[in-house]
């Protein structure tokens, strides 16, 4: 029997394949203007060589993976698996105006090659509320299935590519936006979303709020050999984006633990 949650994701992916190109041309009009890769604005503002104050405290082993978007197009997932890739996050949506036209190939292809996979959403908090963007995300690929192969949905929240760093929101309003998004994803998928952000952005735009670490896994970019201080509330990171190119397509990531712990994350 097909897992109902898995079927919903597959159906969503088929819809994306048919409609993604049109969605990519929604406002802003140019696809290149509303398809931002995870960490792209952090690299632009903070740089790709980020000095770190302390080394990454690694577990016994770390597990290799990647995150991709439409910029990578169709991917040879068997080749990725052959090089040791164990997981992939795929961009599904941005704001409520963009869907990745390559999502179906990337999401289903990674699953078919035996990789654990998940979907992420690039937030644009001044365009619509956290609940609205969570619904758009879940409806367009951000669902979760208890199939042992699907990682929790992820929220990519970083510097504004369209204007003011914090999207014109106060720190309190930004915290409320993230909480609304997280709560809605939890209600829809039964999983708290992973939060991808930088320590510097989080401090500036949320006042270094410490209220998410107990529930939301942390994914953080540091392009170098080590990781510095984490945002308030998190005692450890779950995923480290350590480079924007390398062995695998897209950004290079490491899950901070062995593969069996990554499977445990997928299983909830």
Give rounded-to-5 percent helix, strand, coil for the chain.
Answer: 35, 15, 50
Say how far apart CA 95 and CA 117 lie, in whole Å. Answer: 21
Domain boundaries, position 134? 4-267
User: What is the arithmetic mean of pLDDT over 124-144?
Assistant: 97
The one catalytic residue in 67, 94, 135, 253 is 67
The one catalytic residue in 35, 37, 135, 156 is 156
Query: Is 158 among the residues known to form the active site?
Result: yes
pLDDT value of residue 58:
52
Instruction: Show the beta-strand stretches assigned E in 113-243.
Output: 116-122, 154-156, 194-196, 218-221, 239-243
The one catalytic residue in 35, 135, 158, 253 is 158
Contact indicator for 16, 101 with CB cutoff of 8 Å: yes
- What is the value of pTM for the model shown? 0.83
Query: Is 253 among the residues known to form the active site?
Result: no
The percent of residues in the chain predicted with pLDDT above 70, rounded, is: 78
Band of pLDDT at residue 35, cut at 50, 70 and 90: confident
- Of the candidates 100, 59, 45, the one whose C-alpha atom is nearest the C-alpha of residue 240 is 59
What's the CATH code of the domain at 202? 3.20.20.80
Domain count for the chain:
1
More confident residue, 32 or 237: 237
User: What is the arithmetic mean of pLDDT over 179-193?
Assistant: 98
Q: Which are the contacts of 132, defined by CB distance < 8 A and separation ≥ 6?
A: 96
Band of pLDDT at residue 48, cut at 50, 70 and 90: low
pLDDT value of residue 17:
39
């Amino acid at each position: 029997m097909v897992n109902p949650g898995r079927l919903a994701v597959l159906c969503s992916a088929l819809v994306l394949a048919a409609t993604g190109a049109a969605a990519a041309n929604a406002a802003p009009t140019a696809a290149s203007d509303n398809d931002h890769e995870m960490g792209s604005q952090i690299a632009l503002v903070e740089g790709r060589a980020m000095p770190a104050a302390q080394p990454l405290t690694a577990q016994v082993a770390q597990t290799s993976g990647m995150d991709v978007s439409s910029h990578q197009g169709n991917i040879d997932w068997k080749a990725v698996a052959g090089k040791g890739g164990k997981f992939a996050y795929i961009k599904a949506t941005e704001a409520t105006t963009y869907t990745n036209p390559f999502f179906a190939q990337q999401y289903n292809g990674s699953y078919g090659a035996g990789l654990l996979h998940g979907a992420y959403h690039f937030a644009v908090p001044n365009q619509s509320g956290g609940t609205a963007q969570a619904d758009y995300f879940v409806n367009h690929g951000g669902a979760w299935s208890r199939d042992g192969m699907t990682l929790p949905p992820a929220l990519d929240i970083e510097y504004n590519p369209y204007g003011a760093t914090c999207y014109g929101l106060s720190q309190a309003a930004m915290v409320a936006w993230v909480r609304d998004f997280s709560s809605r994803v939890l209600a829809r998928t039964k999983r708290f979303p992973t939060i991808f952000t930088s320590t510097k952005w989080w401090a500036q735009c949320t006042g270094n709020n410490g209220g998410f670490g107990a529930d939301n896994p942390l994914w953080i970019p540091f392009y170098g050999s080590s990781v510095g201080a984490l945002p308030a509330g998190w005692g450890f990171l779950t995923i480290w984006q350590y480079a924007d190119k390398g062995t695998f397509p897209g950004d290079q990531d490491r899950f901070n633990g062995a593969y069996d712990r990554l499977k445990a994350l997928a299983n909830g």
